[in-house]
Amino acid sequence: MSSTTTTLPPAPAGSAGPAPSKAAVAEEGRIGLRANLRHIGALARRNLLQIKKDPESMFDVLLMPIVFIVLFVYVFGGSVGASLGGNRHDYVNYLVPGLMAMMGMNIAMAVGTGVNDDFRKGVMDRFRTMPIARSSVLIAKIVVELGRLMIATLILLTMGFALGMELNGSVFGLLGAVALAATFGAAIMWIFILLGLTMKTAQAVQGTAMLVLMPLQFGSSIFAPTQTMPGWLQAFTDYNPLSNLADAARALMQGKPVGDSVWWTLAWAAGITVVMAPLAVAKFRKKA
């Protein structure tokens, strides 16, 4: 059944905006798939226009891959590369797939802070008065952030090849690694959206996110092999989804057997989405 979208004027910065009307909530249940997709497209365009007006918001996407790969290759590449039985160039082949897993986590944090900032400005309250699906607002955020993730991944791969990375597998393996990282990144974004809807300030979102990101990133196989880690830490890395994602991406890019790492990564992504997406939408609908 078709629906008509009512365009409302933007709320002034800092204003709370009106609460969701009963008509808007009722209309949400009658919105069809085509209308829902149209709403997602319109909201994604709104988010892209925000980036166009504030190009500095792209600095993290443009600079983060360059800073991380240069820093780790030239600071740790010699020693870690030797532990791998090679040199700094061998470490590039090991590091880049791991950084692909890391990019999604860091960019996902921006989703949480963005949602929190939109609520603080009253933008989300205006959206909740419109006859649109509540999920479309959040999905549009994820769509745009996935675009930012693809740009970061392209820059990372370009830097990797410039520093001597070799693609021993097929192009399809490379594309599969990128798709796997994007799938897991999209799932993680639901966690940070829920965090952004729960915390009071964007600073609180960032602080809490770092407490989550640091153990997951460094307690994994992203930067170094896990064989020399203490036994208790190895047990943690075995269940760390970032380790599964990094190992799967390496196997796909180097043309090696992927084992169960791909399936574990997809299982983690599906489980996180199934649990966190409904919680985030419910929190968005009820947030005062």
> CB–CB of 144/46 below 8 Å?
no
pLDDT on residue 89: 82
Give the other-Cβ count within 10 Å of 114's Cβ: 21
pLDDT on residue 30: 61
Conformational region of residue 14, where left means phi above 0, alpha means psi within -120 to 50, and beta covers everything else:
left
Residue 191 φ then ψ, to 5°: -65, -45
- In the structure encoding, which two tokens stand for residue 233, read together? 């830490």
pLDDT on residue 266: 95
- Rounded Cα gap, residues 37 and 132, in angstroms: 10
Give which of 264, 285, 284 is closest to 190, Cα–Cα.
284
> CB–CB of 209/157 below 8 Å?
no
Q: Which residue has the tokens 């290759």?
A: 73
Q: Is 89 helix (H, G, I), strand (E, B) or coil?
A: helix
> CB–CB of 189/111 below 8 Å?
yes
Q: How do residues 138-192 score in pLDDT, each as one tens digit?
A: 899 999 999 999 999 999 999 999 998 988 888 999 999 999 999 999 999 999 9
> CB–CB of 243/225 below 8 Å?
no
pLDDT on residue 173: 92
> CB–CB of 251/261 below 8 Å?
yes
Query: Where do the domains of the chain lie?
Result: 28-286
Give the other-Cβ count within 10 Å of 106's Cβ: 21
Give which of 100, 93, 92 is closest to 71, Cα–Cα.
92
> CB–CB of 100/178 below 8 Å?
yes
Give which of 70, 243, 93 is closest to 161, Cα–Cα.
93
- Rounded Cα gap, residues 288 and 286, in angstroms: 6
pLDDT values of the chain reduced to their tens digit, one per residue, 288 residues: 334 343 434 444 444 444 444 444 444 456 677 777 888 888 888 888 888 888 887 888 889 999 999 999 998 888 887 777 777 888 999 999 999 988 888 888 888 888 888 788 777 777 777 777 778 888 999 999 999 999 999 999 999 999 989 888 889 999 999 999 999 999 999 999 999 889 888 888 888 888 888 888 888 989 988 888 888 888 899 889 999 999 999 999 988 888 889 999 999 999 999 999 999 989 888 875
Q: How far apart are the first and last CA of the chain?
A: 30
Residue 48 makes CB contacts below 8 A (sequence gap 6+) with: 144
> CB–CB of 32/38 below 8 Å?
no
